[in-house]
Amino acid sequence: MKQQKQFLVYFAFLLKQIVKKPFIWATILAYFLMVLVILLVFPLYQKTSPAQYWNNPVIQISTFLIPVASIFGIMVSMFLFKDGVADGTELIIISKPVSRRVYVIAKFLVLFITCLVFSFLISCSAIIAKINPQFKLQNMKDLMLGLFIGNFINSLFFGSISIIVSFGLSKNSTIVIVFLATFLINFQTPLSNLFFESPARVLSSSKHSLLDRSFLTKQLDKNGNPTGKNVVFEPNPSKKADKDNIKKIYQEAEAKTFYNQSFYINIGNALNSIYNLNSLSYEKNANVNFLSSNTKIVFDELFNQNEFYNISLFTQMPDEKGLLKLEEYKLFLTTPLPTQSATSFLRIINPPSFSYLEDDNQNYKTETAEFDLYKKYDNNDDLLTKAYQTFYKNVFTSTKNSQQRSILSLLRELATKYLGEITELRKLKPEQLIAKLSPNLVIFNDLLRSPNLMYDFIAEIEKTDNLTNKQKAQKVYRDRTNLFYSLSEANNITNIKKFSKYTQAIIDNDQLFNNIPGVDHNANINQNLPDFIRLFLNNFVSDLKIPEISLNDIKLLFYNQLFINYVSLYIGQVINTSSIREQIEGKDKKQPYFVNLYPNAIRKDQLANTYEIRKEPIVNPWVIVIILASVSVALLGISSVLYYSKDYA
């Protein structure tokens, strides 16, 4: 009981001494203000989430925090273990008839508790940062956890080292040496980037440039939310690089550099990693071209487009002779990332989002798309039918464009012109056929991409009444995703017919095939019509296998493919309608909302060289936490033994 009382008295005495130290409070206050500026002021000014600053691969915020945590642990250790020796109070206390173990345990317990309280107070700054509406709850919890664990382990780690070093050096020398070591360790990461090239930088020297994106799959998670997979591809490879397998060349680049292996000898990376846990871990914000600390890219299986929602997009591309032909791309939806900010200027890839004009009609507010905006409607037939009828009326048959002619009239002319030449066209080589059709292809695509027609299409299909700007944006977002879903499913005759109202709308509205001379409506189509349709359905030159089917099926294939291509232009926002909007609505009229699904396009021939990937930590951050915590405890144990056996004579 006597020793317990002595322990409590001495323990209380030490705590009072720590509390009286102005440096302790100055450090806590300075650190607290620095964290608040990082987490609150900068993000609010940039209208983004604090999480985007925290785990950004460009600016590693934790590198600025580690030195402060270090100096706090060092100074507390010096107050406890060195000041008493310097001013003589330690000799007076140690000469009392009290077990030395009491003094040793009390000092180390005060160090432990002081670092614990310091870390807890700093972690509370994440709660204050929740004032920012874009700061998600899960991010806040993980940020509090990272701040607490990172500060606690680092202050204890460097505090323990300073105790051991101080046995052979003076207080000031110890502070300078340990703090200098902190800086050297902390800035190992930026220094290592100067010496070791990432695999992407190695590839860039060989003229390869990879992209990685997260594509929306057709699968749902256990909560009913859409899931995504990370995909890597080379968007526009050179002819020389076109045959290179990207998985093979990336792994070869990894073997040529020491970039990933350098993490194991980089203590600074380890110290930074423990500040970024769970949803804020580095690999969550990594990119194949800009690897975060403690992140590696793992190539999985070849990409299977059937696992993802996708539709076709045809774009005009000149060949070597300058003749235009259609290049087919596959369009994929980007996975929603609700925990990420939609407006971060530091983020490499922006997540899907929407913006709307606030009540003052002066400022726009941008929000990241939530999972509910990707919920699939019970029946998309009505949505698909309305969209198609709008397309047929406002685009296909409209003459409100620079050429003052409709797509329908152009196709009628081409049908009349080429149906009689099909036999001769079959004899042409692909390049000859491109040369022959190129002028018509230019006219056709100019009409299809008319800003006037797209403006009318958008105005009609996105017409909403009695809704706020935010509600309008959300409704349009849901409609676009569901339009994408339904057209992705309507990828063959059988699936098209599952949308009965849509199918009937195509049949009822047709004004092209019913007026083509020589077509037998009661029997199978003659040989000429499928070849003519083949020219317009599949790249104008590729081999689209159309069996002898009914005229109605030909209509469905033709109009569905044309409609899909137009919806790709609409969802991908390929056509700029801002100038037309200004002419019609006036320059001062602000658009009430914007919707950004950020779809991604992959050239069709590149799908065979596209891979699913995983972004994984080189070492699990929680393993690093356990290792560093164990090392800190071991250092405390060593220093306590040394201190207990120290000779004060």
DSSP notation for 263-278: GGG-HHHHHHHTTS-G
Q: Are residues 411 and 486 in the same domain?
A: yes
Does residue 348 belong to any structural domain of this protein? no
Question: Do residues 407 and 536 lie in contact, with contact meaning Cβ atoms separated by under 8 Å?
Answer: no
Range of the domain at 550: 372-596
Does residue 311 belong to any structural domain of this protein? no
Q: Are residues 171 and 138 in the same domain?
A: yes
How far, CA to CA in Å, does 469 sit from each of 365, 434, 473, 577? 10, 46, 6, 19
Q: Are residues 547 and 429 in the same domain?
A: yes
Q: Are residues 286 and 428 in the same domain?
A: no
Ramachandran class of 494: left when φ > 0, alpha when ψ lies in -120 to 50, beta otherwise: alpha
Cα separation, 318 vs 279, in Å, equals 45
382-434 pLDDT, tens digit per residue, is 999 999 999 999 999 999 887 888 988 888 887 777 666 655 666 666 566 66
In single-letter form, the type of residue at position 463 comes to: K
Report long-range pairs for 233-239 (Cβ below 8 Å, ≥24 apart).
233/303, 233/602, 233/606, 233/609, 233/610, 233/611, 234/208, 234/209, 234/210, 234/606, 234/609, 235/209, 235/211, 235/602, 235/603, 235/606, 236/603, 237/208, 237/606, 238/207
Give yes or no for residue 88 having a pLDDT over 70: no
Question: Do residues 572 and 298 lie in contact, with contact meaning Cβ atoms separated by under 8 Å?
Answer: no
Cα separation, 189 vs 634, in Å, equals 25
Q: Are residues 29 and 127 in the same domain?
A: yes
Instruction: Give every CB contact of residue 119 below 8 A, 6+ residues apart in sequence.
Output: 147, 148, 149, 150, 151, 152, 155
Cα separation, 357 vs 594, in Å, equals 9
How far, CA to CA in Å, does 391 sit from each of 221, 565, 575? 34, 11, 15
Q: Are residues 552 and 630 in the same domain?
A: no
Does residue 361 belong to any structural domain of this protein? no
- Mapped onto helix, strand or coil, the DSSP state of residue 377 is coil
Which among 125-134, 187-196, 294-303, 345-354 has the top mean pLDDT?
294-303
318-366 pLDDT, tens digit per residue, is 666 666 666 788 999 998 876 665 555 445 567 899 999 987 777 888 8
Which whole number is the average pLDDT over 369-381? 90
Greater model confidence, 46 or 481: 481
Does residue 637 belong to any structural domain of this protein? yes
In single-letter form, the type of residue at position 367 comes to: E
Cα separation, 234 vs 136, in Å, equals 33
Does residue 353 belong to any structural domain of this protein? no
End-to-end CA distance of the chain: give it in Å, rounded: 29
Ramachandran class of 149: left when φ > 0, alpha when ψ lies in -120 to 50, beta otherwise: alpha
Q: Are residues 234 and 167 in the same domain?
A: no
Which whole number is the average pLDDT over 48-53? 74
Ramachandran class of 333: left when φ > 0, alpha when ψ lies in -120 to 50, beta otherwise: beta
Q: Residue with structure tokens 């990241």? A: 368
% the chain with pLDDT above 70: 81
User: What confidence score (pLDDT) does residue 484 get?
Assistant: 95
**Starting from the edge strand earliest in sequence, which strands make up the sheet with 324-332, in order?**
310-318, 324-332, 600-603
Q: Are residues 151 and 235 in the same domain?
A: no
Greater model confidence, 321 or 581: 581
User: What confidence score (pLDDT) does residue 599 get?
Assistant: 92
Q: Are residues 549 and 628 in the same domain?
A: no
Question: If you average pLDDT over every residue of the chain, what do you get?
Answer: 80
Does residue 325 belong to any structural domain of this protein? no
Total Cβ atoms within 10 A of residue 258:
13
Give yes or no for residue 512 having a pLDDT over 70: yes
Q: Are residues 500 and 628 in the same domain?
A: no
DSSP state of 510: -
Q: Residue with structure tokens 């790249």? A: 539
Cα separation, 365 vs 355, in Å, equals 5
Q: Per the structure block, which two tokens stand in for 185?
A: 């360790």
How far, CA to CA in Å, does 156 sit from each of 182, 271, 645? 13, 12, 21
Does residue 588 belong to any structural domain of this protein? yes
Greater model confidence, 508 or 183: 508
Q: Residue with structure tokens 């980007």? A: 334
Helix axes 407-418, 430-448, angle to 10 degrees: 160
Q: What's the domain count of the chain?
A: 3
Q: Per the structure block, which two tokens stand in for 642?
A: 């040394």
Q: Are residues 415 and 530 in the same domain?
A: yes
Neighbour-count burial of 67, counting CB atoms closer than 10 A to its CB (0-12 exposed, 13-18 middle, 19+ buried): middle
Q: Are residues 210 and 177 in the same domain?
A: no
- Mapped onto helix, strand or coil, the DSSP state of residue 595 is strand
Which whole number is the average pLDDT over 51-80? 80
548-578 pLDDT, tens digit per residue, is 667 788 888 889 988 998 999 999 888 888 8
Residue whose C-alpha is closest to residue 335's, from 392, 373, 291, 391: 373
User: Residue 636 CA to chain centroid, in angstroms?
Assistant: 41
pTM of the predicted structure, to 2 decimals: 0.80
Does residue 407 belong to any structural domain of this protein? yes
Question: Do residues 125 and 36 lie in contact, with contact meaning Cβ atoms separated by under 8 Å?
Answer: yes
Greater model confidence, 386 or 142: 386
On the CB side of 405, CA atoms within 13 Å amount to: 13
DSSP notation for 320-365: TTS-EEEEEEEEEPBPP-TTS-S--TT-SSPPPEEEEE-TTSS-EE
